[in-house]
């Protein structure tokens, strides 16, 4: 197959020109089918930052939309962190969407101010604001799917980050292919909105090659080069060293994430069954279980049952860590009554008269059990 001189002149390797588009398209279709991400004729909100991953995602879905009759709407969120660069990213995404004749909705917030107000890190405040925006756009266009551009490379980086921060086995999953969209800890209902990640089987090298083949000219976020940030250090310094020492370390870690996801799914089903057996109350921001029945479970199931209690109130994307769960269970174990423990996101645990209560402080009243 002859290669266009213009492509060679731009520095593309032969395999990229020939294989990158087909490889990405095949993997996206495989992910969509395997994880039941999207159905024909759906309206799909696509989160686009302007970087290579999100642009590749949008371009692939745009090409496939002719086959699956998807209606695409782009959601671009400006975090207000990078001044003129962020404004230029927004204008670039709008122009890109105009070229593809796709509707683009842009939102923005002062994330630093939100972080101060909500006593969160900038990253946590940014995620909350961004996901709230995605939910608003999805509701506006009556969509139940928000597609994001996370790749297998992101899964590996997140897994390592979780390990270093301190995680249970659930953290070895990295990033799930499909997850319910939560805003401020609340699952969006009754019309559930789902985050889907069609690039989850693709490597970043592949998305960058795809972007070069199609001359997408993605934007560069210079903050991604700052190795003072833990994720950037993992990406730019640690992983290259691991690859040099162990070879195909990315693929090995990705396989581990898949094994962890399968086992976690099974164990979480067991935990949910156990919670249903020992739960004594669930309503109005409160969930309670029998203390003795909780402590009679194997330690691994105790953790997961407590995690299920947390997720009933906050959804799966929350800031309650393994360390918090362990500390709470120690309180439960040591005190059959008259004990309390505060968790992140205004969660309050109280042990009283042989019952373990988990309560959202917004709903806490003078008539606590």
Half-sphere exposure of 102 (CA within 13 A, CB side): 29
76 in the same domain as 176: yes
The most distant pair of C-alpha atoms in the chain lies apart, rounded to whole Å, by: 78
With a CB cutoff of 8 Å and minimum separation 6, the contacts of 159 are 171, 172, 173, 174, 253, 256, 257
Per run of 10 residues, the mean pLDDT along the chain (length 369 residues) is 33 54 90 96 97 96 96 95 89 96 95 86 87 94 97 96 85 92 58 93 92 91 87 95 93 95 93 95 90 95 94 81 92 92 91 94 54
58 in the same domain as 196: yes
Residue 368 lies in a domain: no
Residue 159 lies in a domain: yes
Per-residue model confidence (pLDDT) at position 59: 97
Name the CA dihedral angle for 235, 240, 245, 247, rounded to a multiple of 10 degrees. 90
Sheet of 71-78, strand order = 103-108, 71-78, 43-47, 145-147, 194-196, 178-180
Mean pLDDT of the chain: 88
- Give the whole-angstrom CA distance, residue 139 versus residue 156: 31
- Which residues constitute the domain of residue 295? 257-363
pTM score of the predicted model: 0.85
Q: Which of these three, 196, 224, 247, is where a domain ends?
A: 247
273 in the same domain as 243: no
Residue 294 lies in a domain: yes
Specify the CATH number for the domain of residue 282. Answer: 3.30.465.60
283 in the same domain as 181: no
- Give the whole-angstrom CA distance, residue 260 versus residue 303: 16
With a CB cutoff of 8 Å and minimum separation 6, the contacts of 366 are none
Q: pLDDT, tens digit, for every residue of 272-329?
A: 999 999 999 998 789 999 999 999 999 999 999 999 999 888 877 677 888 899 999 9
What is the count of structural domains for the chain?
2
Residue 338 lies in a domain: yes
Name the CA dihedral angle for 176, 180, 185, 188, rounded to a multiple of 10 degrees. 170
Specify the CATH number for the domain of residue 43. Answer: 3.40.50.620
Q: pLDDT, tens digit, for every residue of 328-344?
A: 999 999 998 889 999 98
Residue 369 lies in a domain: no
Per-residue model confidence (pLDDT) at position 2: 32
262 in the same domain as 239: no
């Amino acid at each position: 197959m002859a290669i266009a001189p213009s492509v060679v002149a731009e520095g593309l390797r032969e395999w990229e020109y020939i294989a990158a588009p087909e490889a990405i398209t095949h993997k996206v279709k495989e992910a969509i089918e395997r994880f039941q991400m999207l159905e024909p004729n759906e309206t799909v909100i696509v989160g686009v930052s302007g970087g290579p991953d999100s642009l590749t995602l949008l371009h692939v879905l745009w090409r496939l939309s002719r086959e699956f009759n998807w209606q695409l709407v782009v959601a671009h969120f400006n975090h207000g962190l990078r001044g003129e660069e962020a404004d230029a990213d927004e204008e670039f995404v709008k122009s890109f969407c105009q070229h593809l004749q796709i509707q683009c909705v842009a939102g923005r917030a002062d994330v630093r101010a939100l972080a101060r107000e909500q006593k969160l890190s900038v990253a946590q405040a940014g995620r909350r604001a961004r996901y709230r925006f995605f939910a608003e756009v999805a509701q506006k266009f009556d969509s139940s799917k928000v597609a994001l551009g996370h790749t297998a490379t992101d899964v590996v980086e997140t897994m390592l980050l979780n390990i270093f921060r301190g995680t249970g086995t659930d953290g070895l999953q990295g990033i799930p292919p499909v997850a319910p969209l939560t805003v401020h800890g609340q699952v969006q209902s009754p019309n559930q909105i789902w985050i889907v990640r069609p690039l989850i089987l693709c490597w970043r090298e592949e998305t960058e090659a795809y972007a070069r083949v199609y001359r997408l000219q993605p934007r560069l976020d210079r903050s991604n080069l700052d190795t003072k940030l833990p994720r950037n250090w993992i990406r730019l310094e640690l992983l290259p060293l691991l690859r040099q020492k162990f070879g195909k370390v990315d693929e090995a870690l990705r396989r581990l994430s898949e094994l962890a996801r399968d086992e976690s799914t099974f164990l979480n089903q067991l935990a949910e069954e156990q919670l249903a057996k020992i739960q004594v109350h669930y309503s109005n921001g409160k969930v309670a279980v029998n203390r003795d029945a909780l402590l009679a479970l194997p330690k691994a199931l105790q953790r997961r049952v407590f995690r299920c209690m947390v997720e009933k109130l906050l959804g799966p994307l929350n800031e309650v860590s393994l360390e918090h769960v362990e500390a709470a269970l120690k309180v439960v174990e040591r005190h059959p009554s008259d004990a309390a423990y505060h968790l992140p996101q205004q969660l309050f645990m109280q042990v009283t008269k042989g019952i373990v209560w988990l309560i959202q402080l917004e709903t806490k009243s003078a008539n606590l059990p």
